[in-house]
Amino acid sequence: MTADLTVLTVFAEQTNVNGDAENALVLTARARWAGFSAQRVDWRLGDPVPKGRPDVVVVGSATDPVLPALLDALRPAATTLRRWRDAGTRILAIGTGWELLGQTIHLDGQTLEGLALLPGRAVAGSGRVTDDLVVDSPFGRLVGFENHLRDVVLPAGSVPLGRVVYGRGNGSDDRAEGLVDDTVIATHLHGPVLAKNPALADDLLSQVLGAGYTARTAPAELVDETARAARSVIATRLGLSATDVA
Amino acid sequence: MAFAPAILIGRLVRVAARLRKRGGGSAVPGLVVNRLAPRFLSATLAGFPQGLVIVSGSSGKSTTTKMLVAVLEAHGLRVFTNPSTANISQGLTSALLERVDLRGRILADIAVLEMDEGHGALIAPQLAPRVVVLTNVMTDQIDRFHDSEKVAGMLGTIASRATGSLVINADDAMLLELAAHRAPGTVIAPYGVSQGVLAANPRGLGYAQTAATRLAQRDGTVVTEVDGRSARLSIAGGEHPITLPARGTHYAVDAAAALAGARAVLGADFDAERATTSISAVAPVFGRGEIVTVRDQQVEFVLVQNPASYQLNVDSLEKGLDQLFFAMGSDVRDPSYFWPVDSSSLGRVAVVSGSKADELALQLRYRGVEVGAVDHDLAHAIDTFLALPAPRTGIKTVIFTADSMRRTRAHLGLV
Ligand SMILES: [Zn+2]
């Protein structure tokens, strides 16, 4: 595609319940502030998968009742998505968006096959979790919100995004949250996770745009100061410090 | 006579509560009476000669209720209605206590009550409303993963109690679905907007699911045109102009709901001319377009209830307003779900406040909106904003969520 950065959102009308698709806005805005051209492409439900390999794919959370329909719509595109990922496309998968791209989903007593593009089996949890989620990670202390019904079981050897300081995360005994490898970030931190935690956004953008990308622009510094204040308010309310010790 | 002791005790409690805390404790007498006489509420609400009307739905309830009351009063009915804040069982009982005689009766012909869907579904099984008016289903707060289905379920419980007519928004697919499963014998009275009006709102009207087709004019009450505060409605085949309490298609839809509700109540006595004239005279509700004089200046207050109403309200604001205040409070547990809202047309917000001020400022800044000050102290922030010079265009406008609205009203002494 023609722009320096192309971000594809998948079925944003269905997967923006928590504002997850707006991470595309965060990525394109930050890229533009750093002097790059950037575009957001929306793949709408019912349309064929857009042509041209995007640099980043964002798949957010949908409500449970629409998950089977989204899976049906995604399945014919599985080969294309896999090819993109193998060619270097980064994937940001959030909440049920991760579940769709993962291996299996436990839904209403049945086990649905996911796209198996990412590791992770979404299994019955101990009830819906809707609360703040704080995670210590190589990107620093990540602060956000989780709202999910299922837990995620990762295969042995997977690298989680970080360790839960407050909240449930993947729901595993080792307090793992999310999943990360070179091309994938999967997490329960929903909504504007990249805006609230710009270290994650900048890591993704540096991977795609290379060393020419910088977050040291006036608009980025202003929003990042705002994000720091927002994280700090939440951490303080939870009796935590806003930065991790690592 | 059965309720006389409970009513007397409730009144004593009310006096005591007022002595202890001026203006406070208004739900306490209701709580006491509901304990002493659990059937007081349903028995009193069953005692109106022309019956009971319930207005419910995700948004638009307050304005619709106020309009419906105005139309019924213009037709000579004496109406008992609840103050919009007293939606809970105790509050409603307290409001009834204020007006009831010792025999448990109220000097009014009909009751028109606004109920939120959760509370309404809880007490509906004890009630037999003659008419139920439903406004819409919009995605709500934290329970949104089941939300629209859950809200529709609660509205279904209320709708199933209608003994006469079910007045529904025909543009809301979830309400249409609910009407399809109504109790036998219930008459459906639909209202909606024309294709042209819908097309003029490219983002839609905020319903969780919009119906695929529009209501034909011959089949109900239809908004055919909206231009600022002017609108036209088709009622029983006749075209009528009305003036809205504030700008925005959603107020025209509220008017259609109220008119359809009034037709259901009044039957052959309904006079479209009288009805539209009385609706045009309805003053806006606080937070829904009402312009208030505060500290010698005019201020408009705009309540944001959910992402849909956030978007509708932002889109309906006059363009080029340069003195905006925006507060988001602790009622918004997780501001994430406001991120899909395109707030870019706000341009510049002078002061951002509330306990979620930073999260709000973050969203606004990514949308390209300039943010002047971020001030967590709502009272201080309001004072700062009101002290700013007069705007170059329009009037000072305060946008807030419900919690910030309560705090702002308290701080400014607006009751
Ligand atoms: Zn809800």
Mutate to test the interface with B, among A22, A58, A131, A133 (most CBs of B within 10 A): A22
Residues 136-175 of B with CB under 8 A from A: 139, 142, 144-146, 149
User: Residue B85: what pLDDT?
Assistant: 53
**Taking 60 as the threshold, does the pLDDT of residue B25 lie above it?**
no
CB pairs under 8 A between A and B: 74
| Separation of CA B115 and ligand 1 centre (Å) | 14
The packing angle between helices B28-36 and B4-20, to 10°, is 160
Q: How far A191 CA lies from chain B's nearest CA (Å)?
A: 5
Respond yes or no: is residue A190 known to be catalytic: yes
B241 with B113, same domain? yes
Q: Which residues of A touch B339 (CB under 8 A)?
A: 16, 18-19, 22, 191-192
* Segment B364-380 mean pLDDT: 97
Amino acid at A118: L
Last residue of a domain, one of B264, B280, B296: B280
B250 with B201, same domain? yes
DSSP per-residue letters across B46-94 = T--TT-EEEEESSS-HHHHHHHHHHHHHHTT--EEE--TT--SHHHHHH
- Residues A106, A148, A188, A190: which is the catalytic one? A190
For B365, nearest residue in chain A (alpha carbons): A223
B229 with B346, same domain? no
Helical spans, DSSP H, in chain A: 23-33, 67-74, 78-86, 96-101, 193-196, 198-209, 218-237
Place of tokens 């307003």: B321
Place of tokens 């990107």: A139
User: Residue A116: what pLDDT?
Assistant: 95
**Taking 50 as the threshold, does the pLDDT of residue B142 lie above it?**
no
B262 with B314, same domain? no
B127 with B227, same domain? yes
User: Residue B143: what pLDDT?
Assistant: 47
What is the distance between the alpha carbons of residues A183 and A55, in angstroms, rounded to a whole number? 10
Q: How far A86 CA lies from chain B's nearest CA (Å)?
A: 30
What is the distance between the alpha carbons of residues B410 and B372, in angstroms, rounded to a whole number? 24
B188 with B234, same domain? yes
Segments of chain A scoring below 70 in pLDDT: 1, 244-246
Place of tokens 């994937």: A91
What is the distance between the alpha carbons of residues A132 and B112, in angstroms, rounded to a whole number? 40
**Which CATH number characterizes residue B310's domain?**
3.90.190.20
B255 with B304, same domain? no
Q: Which residues of B touch A63 (CB under 8 A)?
A: 144-146
Which of A130, A144, A223 is closest, CB to CB, to B142? A130
Cross-strand partners of A184: A91, A181
| Separation of CA B156 and ligand 1 centre (Å) | 14
B265 with B326, same domain? no
> Annotation-wise, does A82 bind a ligand?
no
What is the distance between the alpha carbons of residues B247 and B244, in angstroms, rounded to a whole number? 7
User: Residue B145: what pLDDT?
Assistant: 46
Last residue of a domain, one of B262, B280, B298: B280
Q: Is ipTM beyond 0.90?
A: yes
Determine, for residues A192 and B146 on separate chains, whether the beta-carbon distance falls below 8 Å. Answer: no
Cβ burial, residue B299 (10 Å; 0-12/13-18/19+)? buried
**Taking 60 as the threshold, does the pLDDT of residue B31 lie above it?**
yes
What is the distance between the alpha carbons of residues B389 and B322, in angstroms, rounded to a whole number? 11
| This prediction's pTM | 0.84
pLDDT band at B42 (very low <50, low <70, confident <90, very high): confident
B274 with B292, same domain? no
B327 with B295, same domain? yes
What is the distance between the alpha carbons of residues B400 and B385, in angstroms, rounded to a whole number? 14
| pLDDT > 90: percent of chain B | 60
Q: How far A213 CA lies from chain B's nearest CA (Å)?
A: 18
The CA-atom distances, in angstroms, between B49 and each of B106, B130, B308, B412 are 10, 11, 38, 40
pLDDT digits (tens, 9 = 90+) for A52-73: 999 999 999 998 888 999 999 9
B115 with B236, same domain? yes
Query: For chain B, how many structural domains are there in total?
Result: 2
Which of B145, B340, B363 is closest, CB to CB, to A147? B145
What is the distance between the alpha carbons of residues A16 and B112, in angstroms, rounded to a whole number? 37
For A192, nearest residue in chain B (alpha carbons): B336
| pLDDT > 70: percent of chain B | 89
What is the distance between the alpha carbons of residues A176 and A165, in angstroms, rounded to a whole number? 10
What is the distance between the alpha carbons of residues B289 and B240, in angstroms, rounded to a whole number? 22
Each as own residue / partner, the long-range contacts of residues B8-11 (CB below 8 Å, 24 or more positions apart, any chain) are B8/B102, B9/B33, B9/B36, B10/B36, B10/B93, B10/B94, B10/B97, B11/B97
Decide: B371 and B361 in contact? Cβ < 8 Å.
Answer: yes
* Segment B269-280 mean pLDDT: 97
Determine, for residues A229 and B334 on separate chains, whether the beta-carbon distance falls below 8 Å. Answer: no
**Which CATH number characterizes residue B263's domain?**
3.40.1190.10
Determine, for residues A21 and B340 on separate chains, whether the beta-carbon distance falls below 8 Å. Answer: yes
Q: How far B334 CA lies from chain A's nearest CA (Å)?
A: 7
Walk me through the domains of chain A, giving residue ranges and CATH numbers. Answer: 5-237 (3.40.50.880)
pLDDT digits (tens, 9 = 90+) for B85-141: 545 667 777 778 777 887 778 889 999 999 988 888 888 999 999 999 999 988 765
The CA-atom distances, in angstroms, between B171 and each of B131, B137, B176, B219 are 19, 11, 8, 13
User: Residue A199: what pLDDT?
Assistant: 97
Which of A22, A190, A219 is closest, CB to CB, to B340? A22
Which of B149, B337, B359 is closest, CB to CB, to A18? B337
DSSP per-residue letters across A8-71 = EEESTTTS-TTSGGGHHHHHHHHHHHTT--EEEEEE-TTSPPPSS--SEEEE----GGGHHHHH
Which of A18, A65, A233 is closest, CB to CB, to B358? A233
Print the domain residue range for B191. 4-280
Q: How far B276 CA lies from chain A's nearest CA (Å)?
A: 38
pLDDT band at B21 (very low <50, low <70, confident <90, very high): low
| Separation of CA B175 and ligand 1 centre (Å) | 16
B115 with B18, same domain? yes
Exposure class string for B353-390: b at 16+ Cβ within 10 A, else e: bbbbbbbbbbbbbbbebebbebbbebeebbebbbeeee
Mutate to test the interface with B, among A17, A132, A150, A193 (most CBs of B within 10 A): A17
For A222, nearest residue in chain B (alpha carbons): B365
**Taking 90 as the threshold, does the pLDDT of residue B159 lie above it?**
yes
Q: Which residues of B touch A229 (CB under 8 A)?
A: 358, 374
Last residue of a domain, one of B280, B296, B318: B280
Strand order across the A179-181 sheet: A38-43, A5-10, A56-59, A90-94, A184-187, A179-181
Cross-strand partners of A90: A56
pLDDT digits (tens, 9 = 90+) for B194-233: 999 999 988 889 898 899 999 999 999 999 999 989 999 9
Mutate to test the interface with A, among B362, B364, B376 (most CBs of A within 10 A): B362
